[in-house]
Structure 1
Amino acid sequence: MAQSRTTEHCVQMPAHGAGQGKTAAPTPEKQLNCFVRCIALIERLGNALGTLAFTWATVVLLGGYPTALSSKDFRYATAIVSLEAARMFSHNNRLDYQLFFRTRGAVRPLGWNGLTVIVCLSNAVLYLFMIRKTYGYGYQTLKHSTRDLEIFKAWALSMIIVPAALGQILSLGALKLLSKRLRRAISLCVPLVAIMLLAPAIPYYYEGVTVVGYTLRNTMAKWIVFLLLFLAVLVLTISRLRYPRITKLTEHALGSKQVFWRRLILNSCMFAVLVMLAFMHADPFYRSVMITYEVYTLVVVTFGNLQIPAAIIRVVLASLRLGSHSYYGDDGHLDKRNPEDKTNLVPSLNIFYGMVLGQGALYIAACMLDIFSFIPQRSLARQGGFAGKWGVECVKLYYAYAFEKYMEGGVVAPKKISLITFAMDSLNSDSTKNQFYGIRMLHSLLQRDLTRTHLLSKLTTSTNTITRLINMLDWTSPRDITIRLFAAKVIAELANSLRVVTVPGTMQVVSALLDYGNQQKRGNPLLDTDDKQEEIHDLILNANVIHGEIQDAVLDTSSLLEPQDRSLQQVHIDEQNNLMLIWWQRISKFWSVPKEEPLTDQDLLPALGMSILDSLTSCDQDNCEEINKASGLISKIIGFTNYSRSDTMYTCAQWRVLVMSSLKLLHSLTSINGEIGITLRHKISKHPFLLRNLAYILVDNMSNTESRKLVAGILRNLAVHENARQAIGRIQVIISRLMHAFLTPEPSNADDDRLLRKISGQALTMLAMDSVNNCLTMLRETGYVFIKELTSIIRVDRYRCVAASLLRSMCLHAQQELEESDQRELSYALREVLERTLIADGAELEIFIGLSSQICKVIPEDFAKELEDGHIKDRFVMRLVDVLNSYTEPSSHCPGIRRVILEQAINMMEHDSRYTNCFIDRHMAEALSMVEETASEAENYSLFLGDVGLMEAREPLSSLMARAKQLLAVR
């Protein structure tokens, strides 16, 4: 049987160290790892300088010169020591350290929410200015009113502190503590509120230092700008409402990049509001204060934590003291009366401030490098195949993972940090978000040749990871549909090397994949209830639902949107010679990410489940045992072969994919060797609807060559058993379509068409073996002169053996039905048969000797005449005896070769006794003695699948030997 399955088909992983003589291909994450290591090294050097400065200050300065230090140096040293102490102590707590002093994320993207915060705060400053103007709070007024001055200072201080606090809240994602619905309401309303806060201040006009009142004069331009901005933000807000009609209008207006256009327009509106706030009034003091405050808030809101402000404080304090060198107080001279008290004070302070300056500079350098981390991150996304929003987030998480690893342990200690390790760690974590990204990364890495082999070897040796993947297949919650889908895709890649007995319950969860969207009603009014039908109908989901849920995912991925990524992907170069566009394309590669490929119909969960089962059958026969034991699994698989099913919500295209998947799996299952193969074929052939479904596929004009080829292969595999052979033969249309595919092939010379023809012929061959009824059915099929067609095909190398085997079966089982014209065609083909017998070997030789034996029986006179006229009688007899002597042991490829030789010799000697002398002269008696001594049970079978013999002969080999000896003894 073609493509038989054995246990040796398991994927063999390369041994450790194999191919060491070759240069290993660089991993995709190598560039990012080097970048992260550089940043981590700079930060660790800064930490080392900080620790040394802390020790120096506490031991040398504050401990050695407590009274000699000037008050300024004492304050500076104390402030620096306190700052460093806070950093050192927070280092022991990961969350505290990330909040205050982490280099990674020290600068955060501003985003639309940051701009909105700046607009709101700038509006507050505008109202403070208006209050000051309204009540005449000039400098002189505040100078003479202590209470008013204190209130004004408190407001000013709060406006300085609030941006920093809000920046930290935004950087920590504190809004995620709120419910999703409340977060959405805030995101919808806040931009609109920020615009509306501008309206009350527009009509005010001033005389001197006071607000006189409202006016429409000289404010028309402001109102026009305000209304345009308000309408733009209002339209954007409405477009985000989840109503079908609004969604359609938005998609029509903004296209597939509507998220990018929304954010671009919103950011532009916020910037326009900031400009309008800065120039709201002509007062120079107001403008300078507002511009300064907007710049201040812009900078502060972008701070992700206190690392940069703390570093700036270090650099400023150290620079001030190193620049002035006034270490001895106001007079700047050494006290001659107590010189020993200040010995080495200057170099000690220089060393201290130098270390503090170096620490701050290193932190700032690390933070600046971190800003440009998007370049290696996007490079990794491209090289690793991490596409779309999830790809960007995956790389960000890996960047954070690598940074944390490099910050741990020794500086020069080797650290095995890789995408594979990170993906497996993420998969095994307890976080749904990390599991989602871990499974997506594993799937992407398995698609890359550079990482596939190494990843497979890692996965197959990690029992925990394999167990987690298998368990994910059983996550039936709608929230987990994405994880379940990609877990199935990953396991489909691994199944070639997976033994399911190592993970109990594997077959059950894989079988459950076939139920997704495929729950059936009984369709019987005596058995169904309305409630049951409605419940099942609600559970049926097609691939479109899957696709929609995957786009929404199980996470809040709003932070993953990158407008620039999306816009750059839309750049189309219409003129290749345009240098500007070529330059822009090259620059955009530094931050562009691959476009995420959409899911296809091949990604249906039932299709993936059948793909997993197909791969499992090729790895280990224990897997086949588990498939056989799985309750109802075979019936589920066969259920997908029904082309005309109407009780499903899958589309026609999707259902055809499932049909193809089931046919591939059934073809694999029916190809299995050994006892388990017999069991599975029996179980499959007993299904009441299988043959009907296969017949429909053969008849359907819409079915493609691949599906008909698989059906023919399944029928061929099933036909090795007598009961299945007879059952198939009773369906006339199957034999008719197989004969049509074999005898009247498609005119094209495509490989698939030639393969379909050969497999169809093999199926007919198996159906004809030991089946009189099937042979008669083929011979009586209208529209063909079957024997003539076969004698013509026997001259074609590709189909020679198939045609010869069919001719043998026709001569053996339908001899009485052969007409004179059929016998004449056999006579014409006899020369070709005898010539092939003289030169063929192995299984082909067995087939042609068997055919010549049956032709000798059907037309003995023509056979004898061909031997005499062709002067090949002696050669032919000698060939038979030589082959009999050479095949001393039976082979699974040609177990019946000695049997057909004995049948040939018996038929020749029974027809003409002169052949007996020829055999005696060629020492046939000695050859028969040798056959008798080496006879084996295996020679009683026509076919072997593995170590199991099939199609047992009706007459044992011992009986044939006895007949041959008797004929030889007569002479």
Structure 2
Amino acid sequence: MYDASPKEADGSVHLQISEMKRLSDAYSQSTTIFEPENNSSNGYRGSSAEPPAVDHSVPAPEKKLTLFALRLAILEKAATGLGTLGFIWATVVLLGGFAITLAKSDFWIITIILLTEGTRIFSRSHELEWQRQSTWSLTGAGINSFRLLKLGSNKIWTALNSVFRGRSQDGRQINASRGERQQKWDKRRLPTRRWATSDVPLLPYFSWLFLSRNISKILQCLQILAAAACVALSLMKLILRNFGEIAKGDTDKRNRKDALMIFYSLALAEASLFLLEKIYWELTVTCSKILEQVNEECEFGPSGMISVRRFFYDAYSRCVDGSVFDGLKMDMVSFSMELLASNSPEEQLMGARILRSFAGNKRFSDDTLQKIGITSSAVERLVEMLNWKDCEEEEIRQSAAEILSKLAGEKQNSLRVAGIPGALESISSLLYVSKTSNSALDEVGEKCIIADHEHYGFWTFNHLGLLLLKKLARDHDNCGKIGNTRGLLPKIIDFTCAKERLLKDDHVAASQIQTIKRSLQVIKMLASTTGSTGKQLRKEISEIVFTFNNIRDILRHGEKYPDLQKLGIEILTSLAMEDDATERIGGTGGILKELLIIFFKDGMPISQVHVRTAAGEALVMLALESKQNCNCILKLGALEKLVKALEIPLVRLNAARILRNLCTYSLDDCFLELRGVSAAVPSVLKGILSEEDKLREVMVGLAARAFKFMTYSESSIMFEQAGIKETEIANVLVQILKKHTYPPPRFPRIRRFTIELAIWMMKNKESNVGVFRNLGLEKELENVLDTTSELESFNIFSGTVGLNRFKTSMQSLVDTAQNLLSND
């Protein structure tokens, strides 16, 4: 027998009468399986309500960079244009026409200016290319930053050393101690047949100076020196104007001075504009720290500086190479999606970090997720990344999972994600269930390259995988796809396993409990799916042999986790919609007993009473049309406690429903035991006289069944003990039919139960026929025939779909009542 005695120990919480009434009213107003649900009640965020307003007053932070790149490009193109004009002027006019007549100093100064400025102008695009490549100087170490954060400072130094180990002369990485380093999970994997562009030694000697990451700095310094020299030489010549004497009558030299003045002016203007550009660059980047500001506004963190710098160089390069307005068309989200599609691990990581940061930022998430959602290639790429099981790609994989979990929060995007071929198989690859108790796991799906998996974030990926499934399961069609994905349902149910040691451990990791909770939430959503899809899912879930055992353990040992118990109970309630599942649940030893213990538990804190209510609903479902379960409940001695529970506002509705099912579906040999239900008559009659319609519905329904276990004399005694006359009850029943001209969705069976009780009263006592006739029951019955709907034909509902149709139709009940009224 179960132990459901109230706790008398100090510290137990007892609900006051007023508080219990308030909670009872709250639960009586909540939607349950005993009434149809509106489609909007299960809607997506933003699907039935207006979409949240996006704050357009805050511009994208990267606009500062694109505007800065535009201004720099204007200066750069202006300087380049003047330089080109000066170059043409010098080559065509001066050196071409006056080379012989020029003074020696002018000739060499012009030559130097043309060589330096011409080289600078025509190599500018190459210098930008080196600048872009220089942004990879930190990403080599940054790709492992996710994992390095998990290590102590001593392992960080080891990891950095592994990045900068020596390489062989033919460009292939040397592995000096291969046998030892294979055991190190933190070694960096680099491509074996191609170089990282930031680490290419251009010369065999002084390679540290001629690494590609340093070339941009060298070119930049040379260009500044060239421009400064050009300014100095041009200014000197314009001030001195020592262009040589022109003899009278020498027509070949009469325009030489003007030509030289024009050239030196063009050279001075061109070099000055270039230096102005560099000064503006330094003031904005170094002094105003625009890159740091944008990085802070984007909330990228320390590693985001590389992303911001790379974005700026790309925008500036587009402005210089094409139209000056090309850079304005760039934004950080599109830029990151382009990086995501790259074949470079560094670029993939950078793009994933940007999208993850923006997707999780309240200011940018709506715009970011919208752009990702309408870009099918980006969604497909993110789904593909879920399958990357290489430990070196752990952060990329996690970022992709986090972005998709945000994306799946909207119904339209959820359909896009689930519609990608193999998407659910990819999500399934995130889930890993350890078959051993050892914390050092041995595999992750397919075998990982790294032998030691101690630092791989299995729990993180489990959480993200379950979160993704939870969001996808909001849609009916996605639920069917989840059920059809091979091996996914058993894997989800494996996560619901929680033994006694885990549930009672005071030091259990919160992540483990969170994993169990999310898996239960996914199973609950799948089990509560409507229509033929839901029927098939409930069948598949109930056929997995571990489902009910895992839930039983949670009910038995999960006192510290009421949310887990509630989820487990709700799963049982949904699965009990299928007859086969109902028998399986009842046949699993201990489930009914644990549900009764929870339902009758007194002194439960206010925050946990919802578990008690859920247990009552589960018992109602399990007792519905199941003789086996009804017999088991009676054998557990629950009848007397159910009768007493009718006095407790919080649980009386479900207690009455359970008693009605026991009276209706129990085995014939339980007749004598069920006669004890007569003790509930006073509470039932009081409930019928109450003003609360839902309470009236369940109490009238119980009365129509409970009175059948009493003789006429016994029922009369019960009415006398309750101080209520049968005429009062008859009047209430007629008033119920008058009040509810049409079947109400909140209590759809109230007219059916009312007619059933009226039939019993007229059969039990002939004088009641005249009472009902005088009260106008016959007219109300005719109105019932005119307004009967399908809503009144079902015991329970799955959404708007009716389940468990009553065997006796409303037409048949009304005919029986009318025959009794017409019988003299």
TM-score bracket relative to the smaller structure = 0.7 to 0.9
Find out whether 1:861 has 2:716 as its counterpart.
yes
Cα 1:408–1:764 shift into 2, 3 Å: farther
Report which stretch shifted further, 700-709 or 608-617.
700-709
Find out whether 1:805 has 2:718 as its counterpart.
no
In structure 2, what is the Cα distance between the partners aligned to 1:807 and 1:376? Answer: 73
Provide the residue aligned with 2:470 in structure 1. 614
* Matched-pair contact (CA < 8 Å) for 1:6–1:618: no
Provide the residue aligned with 2:15 in structure 1. none
Find out whether 1:687 has 2:544 as its counterpart.
yes
In structure 2, give the amino acid aligned to 1:636: K
Find out whether 1:629 has 2:542 as its counterpart.
no
> SS of the counterpart of 1:944?
strand
> SS of the counterpart of 2:328?
coil
Provide the residue aligned with 2:76 in structure 1. 43
Provide the residue aligned with 2:119 in structure 1. 86
1:921 pairs with 774, 793, 818, which one?
Answer: 774
Cα 1:840–1:315 shift into 2, 3 Å: same
- The runs of 5 or more residues in structure 1 that have no matched partner are 113-172, 186-240, 248-295, 522-533, 550-598
Cα 1:850–1:244 shift into 2, 3 Å: same
Find out whether 1:827 has 2:677 as its counterpart.
no
Deviation at 1:465, TM superposition (A): 1.0
In structure 2, what is the Cα distance between the partners aligned to 1:923 and 1:492? Answer: 61
Q: Report how many aligned residue pairs link the two structures.
A: 716
Cα 1:875–1:13 shift into 2, 3 Å: closer
More helix by share: 1
Provide the residue aligned with 1:849 in structure 2. 700
> SS of the counterpart of 2:819?
helix
> SS of the counterpart of 2:797?
strand
2:299 pairs with 343, 366, 385, which one?
Answer: 385
* Matched-pair contact (CA < 8 Å) for 1:501–1:622: no
In structure 1, what is the Cα distance between the partners aligned to 2:641 and 2:801? Answer: 33
> SS of the counterpart of 1:26?
coil
* Matched-pair contact (CA < 8 Å) for 2:72–2:277: no
> SS of the counterpart of 2:802?
strand
Deviation at 1:758, TM superposition (A): 1.9
In structure 1, what is the Cα distance between the partners aligned to 2:269 and 2:49? Answer: 50
Report which stretch shifted further, 660-669 or 337-346.
337-346
Cα deviation digits, residues 475-502 of structure 1 (max 9, x gap): 3444434322322222222223322563
In structure 1, what is the Cα distance between the partners aligned to 2:47 and 2:705? Answer: 50
In structure 2, what is the Cα distance between the partners aligned to 1:15 and 1:693? Answer: 37
Find out whether 1:312 has 2:225 as its counterpart.
yes
> SS of the counterpart of 1:680?
helix
In structure 2, what is the Cα distance between the partners aligned to 1:625 and 1:791? Answer: 40
What are the residue-to-residue correspondences of 1:494-893 with 2, within 5 Å?
Answer: 494-496=407-409, 497=411, 498-499=414-415, 500=417, 502-514=419-431, 516=432, 518=434, 548=455, 602-603=459-460, 605-619=461-475, 621-644=476-499, 653=509, 656-701=513-558, 704-745=561-602, 747-750=604-607, 753-781=608-636, 785-793=640-648, 795-796=649-650, 799-813=651-665, 816=671, 818=673, 822-824=677-679, 826-836=680-690, 838-840=691-693, 845-858=696-709, 860-861=715-716, 864-865=719-720, 868-869=724-725, 872-873=728-729, 875-883=731-739, 885-887=741-743, 891=745
- The runs of 5 or more residues in structure 2 that have no matched partner are 1-30, 142-164, 187-208, 502-506
In structure 1, what is the Cα distance between the partners aligned to 2:428 and 2:524? Answer: 18
* Matched-pair contact (CA < 8 Å) for 2:794–2:803: yes
Provide the residue aligned with 1:345 in structure 2. 259
Cα 1:426–1:40 shift into 2, 3 Å: same
> SS of the counterpart of 1:638?
helix
What are the residue-to-residue correspondences of 1:5-20 with 2, within 5 Å?
Answer: 9-12=43-46
Provide the residue aligned with 1:449 in structure 2. 362
Give the alignment's Cα RMSD to 1 decimal.
Answer: 4.4
* Matched-pair contact (CA < 8 Å) for 2:319–2:327: no
Deviation at 1:415, TM superposition (A): 2.1
Report which stretch shifted further, 681-690 or 410-419.
410-419
> SS of the counterpart of 2:408?
helix
Cα deviation digits, residues 556-611 of structure 1 (max 9, x gap): xxxxxxxxxxxxxxxxxxxxxxxxxxxxxxxxxxxxxxxxxxx6x751x3332222
In structure 1, give the amino acid aligned to 2:494: G
Cα 1:2–1:941 shift into 2, 3 Å: closer
Report which stretch shifted further, 653-662 or 482-491.
653-662
Cα 1:812–1:182 shift into 2, 3 Å: same
In structure 2, what is the Cα distance between the partners aligned to 1:472 and 1:5? Answer: 38
Deviation at 1:714, TM superposition (A): 0.8
Provide the residue aligned with 1:421 in structure 2. 334
Provide the residue aligned with 2:308 in structure 1. 395
2:796 pairs with 912, 920, 943, which one?
Answer: 943
Q: Which has the higher contact order (CA 8 A, sep 6+)?
A: 2
Cα 1:631–1:357 shift into 2, 3 Å: closer
Provide the residue aligned with 1:98 in structure 2. 129
In structure 1, what is the Cα distance between the partners aligned to 2:554 and 2:67? Answer: 57
* Matched-pair contact (CA < 8 Å) for 1:827–1:862: no
Cα 1:701–1:10 shift into 2, 3 Å: closer
> SS of the counterpart of 2:218?
coil
In structure 2, give the amino acid aligned to 1:806: I
In structure 1, what is the Cα distance between the partners aligned to 2:84 and 2:50? Answer: 43
Higher CA-based Rg: 1
In structure 1, give the amino acid aligned to 2:43: H
Cα deviation digits, residues 506-543 of structure 1 (max 9, x gap): 222222333x464799xxxxxxxxxxxx9979967899
Provide the residue aligned with 1:588 in structure 2. none
Cα 1:875–1:487 shift into 2, 3 Å: same
In structure 2, what is the Cα distance between the partners aligned to 1:347 and 1:699? Answer: 97
Deviation at 1:701, TM superposition (A): 4.9
Deviation at 1:618, TM superposition (A): 0.4
Deviation at 1:876, TM superposition (A): 0.1
* Percent of matched pairs sharing the same residue: 24
* Matched-pair contact (CA < 8 Å) for 2:653–2:698: yes
Deviation at 1:664, TM superposition (A): 1.7
* Matched-pair contact (CA < 8 Å) for 2:127–2:216: no
* Matched-pair contact (CA < 8 Å) for 1:833–1:848: yes
Deviation at 1:732, TM superposition (A): 4.2
TM-score (normalizing by structure 1): 0.65
In structure 2, what is the Cα distance between the partners aligned to 1:178 and 1:696? Answer: 62
* Matched-pair contact (CA < 8 Å) for 2:359–2:406: yes
Deviation at 1:180, TM superposition (A): 7.4
In structure 2, what is the Cα distance between the partners aligned to 1:38 and 1:732? Answer: 77
> SS of the counterpart of 2:363?
helix
1:471 pairs with 384, 394, 398, which one?
Answer: 384
> SS of the counterpart of 1:429?
coil
* Matched-pair contact (CA < 8 Å) for 1:884–1:901: no
In structure 2, what is the Cα distance between the partners aligned to 1:656 and 1:685? Answer: 23
Deviation at 1:65, TM superposition (A): 4.5
Provide the residue aligned with 1:896 in structure 2. 749
* Matched-pair contact (CA < 8 Å) for 2:639–2:676: no
Cα 1:357–1:423 shift into 2, 3 Å: closer
> SS of the counterpart of 1:641?
coil
Cα 1:51–1:916 shift into 2, 3 Å: farther
> SS of the counterpart of 2:689?
helix
Provide the residue aligned with 2:108 in structure 1. 75
In structure 1, give the amino acid aligned to 2:291: Q
Cα 1:709–1:672 shift into 2, 3 Å: same
* Matched-pair contact (CA < 8 Å) for 1:443–1:486: yes
1:364 pairs with 248, 262, 278, which one?
Answer: 278
In structure 2, give the amino acid aligned to 1:430: N
2:758 pairs with 887, 905, 930, which one?
Answer: 905
In structure 1, what is the Cα distance between the partners aligned to 2:407 and 2:731? Answer: 55
* Matched-pair contact (CA < 8 Å) for 1:764–1:806: yes
Provide the residue aligned with 1:169 in structure 2. none
